[in-house]
Amino acid sequence: MPAFAVLAEVSDRPGILSGLTRVLADHQANITYVDIHDAGEPTSDIYFEFTLEGSDVSRILADMQQVPGVRLVEETPNFARIYGKRIIVMGGGAQVGFVAMGAITEADRHNIRGERISIDTIPLVGEQELAAAVRAAARLPRVRMLVLAGSLMGGAITEAVKEVQSYGLRVISLNQAGSVTDVADLVVSDPVQAGVMAVMAVAETAKFDLMRQLKRRY
């Protein structure tokens, strides 16, 4: 189905999102992404991505423009084309930095050839904090891979990894203490190589099939 992205500048008050989503529902548009951004009081930007079968996007724009509180509606390039697939690296700062270095350098090589891969990181300590961040990663848009960059991860983190794997998210772990290496899809000792492999696994431009490497250790 054709995909569209639309940006609406609106007054910052309750009910406008409801009005705009009503228009999209009336046109049978299937909303795949929404983002609300404070453009500064008293206005906000609301950004939609949606797929549409048969209906005319210009009629949707015209109907959105009629919703009370809407100032401006326009088509815009979509995030998937700009920021692409995301790899999230989390754990201790030193190791997150080296995984990111490997992943960014490798993503650069693929992005030059037409891929669009971005590397997001969060340096974070604590079992409960990391478990919450792992769970939340599965709810973030466009995330294809999680890399756990630490020296000791287990317990609640391992349970969170199993949960996000059940949603289809793949997880690479550095070779480290704790039970997380027992459940990771791939275990890698060198942080730079872990970053490179994470990118290779999600790049269409790479010949690396993570499924053939499952449960291996490097």
Q: Where are the alpha helices (DSSP H) in the chain?
A: 16-26, 57-65, 79-82, 93-112, 127-137, 156-166, 180-183, 191-202, 210-213
Q: Element (H or E) spanning 177, and its range?
A: none
Write the single-letter amino acid at 173.
S
Exposure string for 26-42, b = 16+ CB within 10 A, e = fewer: ebebeebeeeeeeeeee
Q: How far is the CB of 36 from a second copy (least distance, A)?
A: 6
Q: Is 54 in the site for a second copy (CB under 8 A)?
A: no
Chain centre to alpha carbon of residue 188: 22
Q: Is 105 in the site for a second copy (CB under 8 A)?
A: yes
Binder among 1, 62, 72, 82 for a second copy (CB under 8 A):
82
Nearer to a second copy among residue 149 and residue 180 (C-beta): 149
Nearer to a second copy among residue 38 and residue 182 (C-beta): 38
Q: How far is the CB of 181 from a second copy (least distance, A)?
A: 22
Report d(CA 209, CA 60) in Å as an integer. Answer: 41
Q: Is 63 in the site for a second copy (CB under 8 A)?
A: no
Q: Is 83 in the site for a second copy (CB under 8 A)?
A: yes
User: By the criterion CB under 8 A, which residues form the site for a second copy?
Assistant: 7, 12-15, 17-18, 21-22, 24-25, 28-40, 45, 47, 77, 79, 82-84, 92-94, 96-98, 100-101, 104-105, 107-109, 111-112, 118-125, 129, 132-133, 136, 138-141, 167-168
